[in-house]
Structure 1
Amino acid sequence: MAGCDGSSEHQPIEDKEAFRQSLLEKALNDDTRKAGNEFLANNLKQPGVQVTASGLQYRIITDATGAKPARDQIVEVQYQGRRVDGGIFDATAEGKSIKFPLNQVIDGWREGLSMMSVGSEWELFIPADLAYGARSPSVDIPANSTIIFTVKLLGISDAGAQE
């Protein structure tokens, strides 16, 4: 039997599988966002957790009074990234650090690090909309994930500075 557009009502198996996969991903992502929102609601009740107007939550582990980075500067950090289920998806190697431009990271990092002073260590609880949103940057971070970073700010430098 043909459809109104003259096509067969039977879709190729590949199309059905792709459609089913997209529905599965949508369901997973809705569950992922829901789990993140529940985590953030409960996390806000924890001692020392603060929240910004954007929804970024943070907890100061070690405070410092050093300089704070501007968005156009290079930051040097040590970090560990986790999902709300506790699974680690990224981290600097033990005893190592990484440098990158602050204006080239996710919004939650940019906001959190710009409030930190050199020498401080914070835990950032980043809602999906301040992280990767509806896109999945890797198999370890589903789309719409709330993510958590423990970040130690070791230094800042100007973007044009030579090392």
Structure 2
Amino acid sequence: MEVAFFAGGCFWGIEAAFQQIPGIKSTRVGYMGGHTNEPTYQDVCSDKTGHAETVAIEFDETIVSYQSLLKHFFSMHNPTEIDRQGPDIGSQYRSVVFYTTNEQKEQAEKFIADINLSDRYNVPVATEVIPASTFWPAEDYHQSYFMKIGQRYGRSLF
């Protein structure tokens, strides 16, 4: 199994979207990229911890490639927005690829470069590509939230 970490707005929707992809073995939402140890949701919502709402993904590389995960991730949110996604505003909602290997870093940077060379957006991609750090799991009530409330991710990824 491989592990990947992505942040792109509210973690509920990002997690729900990744859960639809064959080859995803597990997901967990939490916080990464900040300076506060053991942050709570309230701490992160204060926009003072430096953490982003992040989804940890365990995936089977023989079924779904990291490149495919990047493709899905960049279709789930607007990677050109800075410190926000739609109505959610603050650095905790920024777009980040947290890489765990040099290969993940290279693939993410190339993916972003290719998007920027295309005419997909009128402005450059704002997604950060930074090393994964400590992943702090969110409170239990946030885990698989859309499943708990009987809601699915709004659009098909396939």
Q: TM-score, normalised by structure 1?
A: 0.22
Higher helix fraction (1 or 2): 2
Rg larger in 1 or in 2?
A: 1
Q: Which structure carries more relative contact order (alpha carbon 8 Å, separation 6+)?
A: 2
Q: TM-score, normalised by structure 2?
A: 0.22
